Amino acid sequence: MTTRKIFMLLLNIFSSGFLFSQVQFSSDFESASIGSVKLLDSTWIKTTPSDSMLTLSYEISSRFDPLNPIDTSLSPSARWYYLRITGVKGKQLFLSIRNSEVIRPFYSYDNKHFQRFESVENINKGQINKIFTQDTVYVCHFIPYTCSHLDNKFEEWSGSKYVKTEVIGQSQQGRDIRLMTLTDWSTDEKNKKRVWIHGRVHPSEHPSSWHLEFLIDKLLDGSIHSRALLANTIFYIVPFTNPDGVYGGLSRSASTGVNIEINWDRPDSLTMPEIKALRGKIESLTKDRPFDLLLNMHSQISGTITYWIHTAESTSRLMFRKQMLLSALTINDNPMFSPADLSFSGVAPRYVEGWIWNRSGNNTVAITFETPYTYYKNDKNGEWVSLDNLKSLANNSLFAISDYLEISSDARILPDVRVSRPSVWKKADNDSLVYFGNECLITDKVRQKVRAKVGLPEAGTYRVYTWVAGSVDNWSDNLVNRWKEIGSVTVSKKRTYKWRGSSDQLNGVADKLLFLK
């Protein structure tokens, strides 16, 4: 071998070692998480006759939460990962991520603007193949929603005349647990509906926080509908139940390893301070009057949106119907959510829903709402979860909440249907249909006259919808339990409009109408 060939061989060896040694993995920033990193292979691949590319293969193990000292039978989770890799420009990286689900996760070059890996870059579950174009890249399970981001949003939201904030307790590590109260403070609170929402019990569930942020933004956007909702409702919102877990980049536990989602019925000695704070505030707020609705915001690895509906056997027929109504209203006109996506379980006191059921019974619908990380309706060829469609989902959720609470606005008018011949109508039996209010009238007679008084706020054409009440127990399609357009009305000025129709238009059910301009 000539001296030149020996020199070139040594140069290649040292250059290769230098280059891949410059690739560094780190998690020394907020909400970051990484377990171990192991270099599996490195090689130079000739890309042109005169150029080569360094290809590096790594095995990355996602970090497990601490062991749970209370529920010792639970295995710790390692779902969340969020890491920084430097020295990667122009190199091909194969990343094999263990202990977590890797289905088209996200990356960013500036830790601000994130995008999903393309399908061709994540062909096999758990493996990423990417040539990065900048020297530093952040890789994560989903777009991060951090404590710092929430701080900025709190500052923004606090500037609204509808918002008051308070600290209701501290986490195990001393971080504030903050409550926002949103309402129109100029209107009488006596008869307002009351809604409690809390999120980020499980710190890895970042999509749920984006969904909740967009819901709050919509509430405060000054629209006709939002103003009417705030005039008639008080919202109590805790965006982060588990700030320690969020800050520390944990997956499903608090800093101590406890899964606080199932900590609600523990004796005081085993109750986490985060749950004590929430429980104490709820007890104070519901001393004289229960909430109308409690939403527990989560995200799940399954590729669907879902509500966790508590069975009639574990609650009551009335509670089951109320949950199904809220679900149906959220599914209504929503291409990302279908009846097949709903989940069912018995109520249990270790969860907030069971704790509230034991406290308030049928008065409060307490339910968990889940957004996915990946795609919707179990369709990987369909729409994938993004900030844009989470915003769309938040708008849909707010319409569902206002309709469920039967709150009308000039933008969304909800009159009751009245019947002309009560003798040919009867009450729906045993909560068999998904309907509004305390009772619903049904008939099998055709051409029965019905009517409604509707306050129309301005001149124009309004689309008219009827609520198609379907079965509570066997609902599998989008043809029932939904708003169905049945016509339109045109008025020349603001007026109280007397709508008249027939039982045929309403499918034999006299319940609610919806008028939209």
pLDDT in tens, 137-189: 999 999 999 999 999 999 999 999 999 999 999 999 999 999 999 999 999 99
Predicted pLDDT at 21 = 53
Cβ atoms of 309 and 344 closer than 8 Å? yes
The whole-model pTM stands at: 0.95
Within the chain, which residues score under 70 in pLDDT? 1-21
Q: Read off φ and ψ for residue 375, nearest 5 degrees.
A: -130, 175
Tokens of residue 267, six digits: 């004796």
pLDDT tens per residue across span 189-247: 999 999 999 999 999 999 999 999 999 999 999 999 999 999 999 999 999 999 999 99
Predicted pLDDT at 2 = 56
Cα maximum dimension of the chain: 108
Cα separation, 419 vs 500, in Å, equals 10
Cα separation, 328 vs 337, in Å, equals 10
Predicted pLDDT at 367 = 98
Beta bridge partners, 345, equal 310
Tokens of residue 282, six digits: 């709820």
Beta bridge partners, 94, equal 57, 129
| Residue ranges of domains in the chain, CATH in brackets | 3-140 (2.60.40.3120), 164-404 (3.40.630.10), 418-516 (no CATH)
Cα separation, 375 vs 352, in Å, equals 27
